[in-house]
Amino acid sequence: MSLFAIGDTHLSFGVEKPMDVFGGWQDYESRLAENWRSIVRDDDTVVICGDVSWGMKLPEALPDFRFLDALPGQKLLMKGNHDYWWETCSKMTAFLEANGVTTLRFLFNNAYPFGTYAVAGTKGWFYDSGAEDEEKALNRELCRLRLSLEKAAALGGEPLAFLHYPPISRKAVCEEIIAVLQEFGVRRCYYAHLHGASIKNAYIGEYEGVRFDLISGDSLGFCPKLIEKT
pLDDT tens-digit series, residues 180-230: 999 999 999 999 999 999 999 999 999 999 999 999 999 999 999 999 998
Quote the pLDDT of residue 135.
83
Q: What pLDDT shows up at residue 230?
A: 84
- DSSP E strands, 21-96: 45-48, 74-77
Contacts of 219 (CB under 8 A, 6+ apart): 194, 195, 199, 202
Could you tell me how many residues make up the chain? 230
The amino acid present at 69, given as its one-letter code, is D
User: Partners of 214 in the beta sheet?
Assistant: 191
Q: What is the DSSP string of 170-193?
A: SS-B-HHHHHHHHHTT--EEEE--
Confidence of residue 23 (pLDDT cuts 50, 70, 90): confident
CB 25 within 8 A of CB 19: yes
* 191 backbone dihedrals φ, ψ, rounded to 5°: -140, 165
Numbers of helices and strands, H then E, in the chain: 5, 11
Query: For 114-161, what is each residue's pLDDT tens digit?
Result: 999 999 999 998 766 666 678 888 999 999 999 999 999 999 999 999
Write the DSSP symbol of residue 168: B
Q: What is the pLDDT of residue 129?
A: 61
Q: Is the pLDDT of residue 91 over 90?
A: yes
**Could you tell me if 134 and 153 are in contact, meaning their C-beta atoms sit under 8 angstroms apart?**
no
Mean pLDDT of all residues in the chain? 95
pLDDT confidence of residue 216: 97
Angstrom distance (rounded) from CA 64 to CA 92: 14
CA atoms lying within 13 Å on the CB side of residue 56: 3
- Between 177 and 132, the more confident residue is 177
Under 8 Å between Cβ of 187 and 209: yes
Q: What is the CATH number of domain 2-229?
A: 3.60.21.10
Write down the pLDDT at residue 18: 81
Give φ, ψ of 136 to 5 degrees. -65, -40
Whether 123 contacts 163, CB under 8 Å: yes
